[in-house]
Chain A
Amino acid sequence: MSTDTISDILDTEAPLLSWETWDQVKHTERFVALAAAVFALSFSYLFGRAPVISGIFRGYHGLAITILIWSIFALGFNLLLGQTGLLSFGHAMFFGTASYAAALFSIHVHADPLAIILVGVLAAVALGALSALILLRLHTVYFSIVALAIAQFLFFLAREPLVEITKGINGLDVARIPVLGLFELDHRYRGVLGMVIVDNLYLFIGVFFVAVVVFITRVRKSPYGLIFKAIRENETRASFVGLNVWRYKFAAFILSAAIVGLAGSLMAVNTQFAGVERLYWQVSGDIVVMAVLGGLGTIAGPIIGTFVFYYFKGIVNGFPMLGDYWLLLLALSFTAVVWVYPDGIWGMVTDFTSALREPEELVADTKQRLRDLAPGGDG
């Protein structure tokens, strides 16, 4: 992308420290990559061990890893829903299948983490191609529900008839050997490194996280990815201008499956386990909640959504009094977001920050709203 360099930005008239410069910089790929890397590197520390902040969060390292992996999952899911407008209620099938494929490969062939991740992704892609043949003939709710049906079919298939292979509810254990025979994933660092990133496993998953963020940014900015958006806005029109809609939907579906498959394989590496519950509808439901709650069609949205979800599940769950109600609170917030604010949490944040830039307008707008709310008002 030739327009995507810092020098081009600095050529513009805008002064270096201004909102215009910031608006241009924040959308460049380099900035997104850098931000993702900084986030991944500092997240575990800020969440789990930083003074004051982590005391408020009550976070811990293991949860930080889980959130990174599920963020990859949510980003992959969002590529399909937020970008292309296809709501799959069955994405657990890619997550679970990749997990199983990775685990089986590690048991029967070779256990190198990179190799099993590759196998997991390939399995998800193969399943994606197969299910796309059925699903892409269907529209809207039909698509969502039949995706759910396929995932549920695989779940029940793995739970009983294939119990010899999947070991049913006991699941499969994944051995952990060094990556390429060199890097021990369990290796814990000392000193500052130990404080910030703790171990190689976190680093390993962080690298994949940054790679996925960069990859998705690239897709979103490419002409190819813009066609996904065109399909979301109006499929009929997209086909009338001569685009082969099926082909682009297929591509989006496969890409989404591959990224979700990556998340599934990483989960197998992280937990050293693959089990049937990763195929259950609840996984598909959770990912829908995360992506929608955070904000569709953005990069930060799914990551924020994942964080909020796991924060409730991992930490609010343990609070006295409030703990029992974590899922209820989460489900109600999800419903409220879909109802009144479909742009999600990230949409709220961006709206608020852009409103802050125009304080006078914000004041006027708020006054108008209060007037509308007042009884006897003309609103």
Chain B
Amino acid sequence: MSIDGIVGFIFIALSVASLYLLVAVGLSIVFGSLKYVNMAHGVLYLLGAYVGLLIASQEQYGGLLSDAGQVGLGWGFVPALILTPIIIMGVGIVMERFIAKPFYERDLLEQLLVTFGILIAAQELVAIVFGRTGTIYPRPAWLTGAVSLPVVGTPPGMSAASTIRVLVVGLTLLLVGAIFAFYKYTDYGLAVRAGTEDSEMAQMLGIRVGRPFLLIFALGAAYAGLAGVLGGSLFNVTTGIGMEIIIPSLVIVIMGGVGSIRGTVIGALLAGFVFAAATELVPSMTRASIYLLAIVVLTLRPSGIFPSAEIGQ
């Protein structure tokens, strides 16, 4: 394989891994620290894709940044990237207060069932509002083609990496790094971890565990919303994408080890590289590959790569 081929391959793998990671990281932290399994997390991705599309196309045809002459969504993609996570964060806060909170103390299987019902209902609602046919979500013109830097031009090998994939990978690195640092090094993160270990004890020490939990939930929602905007331009957009993204994401969370950010990153990377390798070598196995991977990993290590002691035992 040429150097172009290798770089292209790596970026395909990393961008697929990034999308899954953005969805899975919120899922994993909420699952790990709040003991709440949230299939309705897929709703946030779904809404992210549609809200992003709405914002981007508004901007394209109306606002100051309109770029009507070009293919794709034009510069409207930028406000979509910024506004969508904020909006979806709001949705996440509502979801935490009214859907998740009443279920924190209840059985995991009931959580799974109720959030599954909500996911199906939300997908139907989106289908009724936006129509059942898939939506065309073209890449913005300024994100097509190869990476080209202002002074240096295209670095060697990078001509195979399309700009959008580089953007997706870069953003994910930044955001997942941020949430990791938040979780590990800030007082809020400490409060979340304390609340995870022993919620009652933490409350007796004067920590209001409710708020950090809400923040974690909202951050996870924002990430899923952003993944929706980005995913819309890499994969296709239909009203079924909520379920389509949540299955592999849950599989990745479980494969990596629930609650472990490190495990989730590794799970997503494995899935991304297996996906890209299958695309390259056995195209017919592309969609099946991630599930095969999960089956193999969980047969060898039933509690995931970085197991969490408490959950699922």
Contact = CB atoms under 8 A, between A and B. Distances in A.
Same complex origin of A and B:
yes
Interface of A: 85, 87, 89, 134, 137-142, 144-146, 148-150, 152-153, 156-157, 159-161, 163, 281, 285, 288-289, 292, 324-325, 327-328, 331-332, 334-335, 338-339, 342
Interface of B: 37, 108-110, 112-114, 116-118, 120-121, 124-125, 128, 243, 247, 250-251, 254, 282, 284-285, 287-288, 291-292, 294-295, 298-299, 302-303, 311-313
A276 B122 CA distance: 26
A338 B247 contact: no
A332 B110 CA distance: 15
Contacts of B288: 152-153, 156-157, 160-161
A334 B39 CA distance: 15
Contacts of A324: 128
Contacts of A288: 113, 116
B295 A335 contact: no
B285 A160 contact: yes
Contacts of A87: 109, 112-113
A328 B235 CA distance: 25
B117 A134 contact: no
Contacts of A149: 247, 251, 291, 294-295
A89 B108 CA distance: 14
Given A134-B299, A160-B284, A331 B291 contact: no
B114 A145 contact: no
B313 A139 contact: yes
| Majority secondary structure, B binding face | helix
A285 B302 contact: no
B128 to A, nearest CB: 6
7 contacts: A141-B37, A148-B250, A149-B295, A150-B291, A152-B247, A156-B287, A334-B117
A206 to B, nearest CB: 31
A141 B109 contact: yes
A117 B114 CA distance: 35
A328 B125 contact: yes
Contact of B291 (A144, A153, A328): A153
A264 to B, nearest CB: 20
A153 to B, nearest CB: 4
A327 B247 CA distance: 20
B308 to A, nearest CB: 11
Given A137-B302, A338-B110, 4 more contacts: A144-B112, A149-B247, A152-B247, A288-B116
A134 B298 CA distance: 8
Nearest first, the 5 A-B pairs at minimum CB distance are A335-B117, A156-B288, A153-B291, A331-B121, A160-B284
B126 to A, nearest CB: 10
A339 B291 CA distance: 31
Nearest to A236: B313
A328 B121 contact: yes
Among A327, A338, A342, max chain B CB count under 10 A is at: A338
Nearest to B294: A149
Contacts of B128: 324-325, 328
A331 B120 contact: yes
Contacts of A138: 298, 302, 312
A251 to B, nearest CB: 20
B117 A332 contact: yes
Contact of A152 (B108, B291, B299, B312): B291
Contact of A285 (B120, B254, B298): B120
A156 B49 CA distance: 24
Contacts of A153: 288, 291-292, 295
A339 B114 contact: yes
Contacts of B299: 134
Contacts of B124: 325, 327-328, 331
Contacts of A338: 110, 113-114, 117
Contacts of A146: 251, 254, 294-295, 298
A368 B229 CA distance: 51
A285 B113 CA distance: 10
B284 A161 contact: yes
Contacts of B110: 338, 342
A328 B239 CA distance: 13
A91 B80 CA distance: 39
B260 to A, nearest CB: 14
B247 A148 contact: yes
Nearest to B282: A161
B247 to A, nearest CB: 6
Contacts of A325: 124, 128
A335 B118 contact: yes
A339 to B, nearest CB: 6
A327 B303 CA distance: 35
Contact of B312 (A134, A141, A327): A141
Given A156-B291, A160-B285, A281-B247, A140 B312 contact: yes
B291 A285 contact: no
A289 B124 CA distance: 15
Contacts of B298: 134, 138, 142, 146
B145 to A, nearest CB: 30
Given A142-B312, A288-B113, A292-B113, A134 B247 contact: no
A204 B114 CA distance: 37
B31 to A, nearest CB: 8
A328 B254 CA distance: 29
A275 B37 CA distance: 32
Contacts of B311: 141
A134 to B, nearest CB: 5
Contacts of B251: 145-146, 148-149
A289 to B, nearest CB: 8
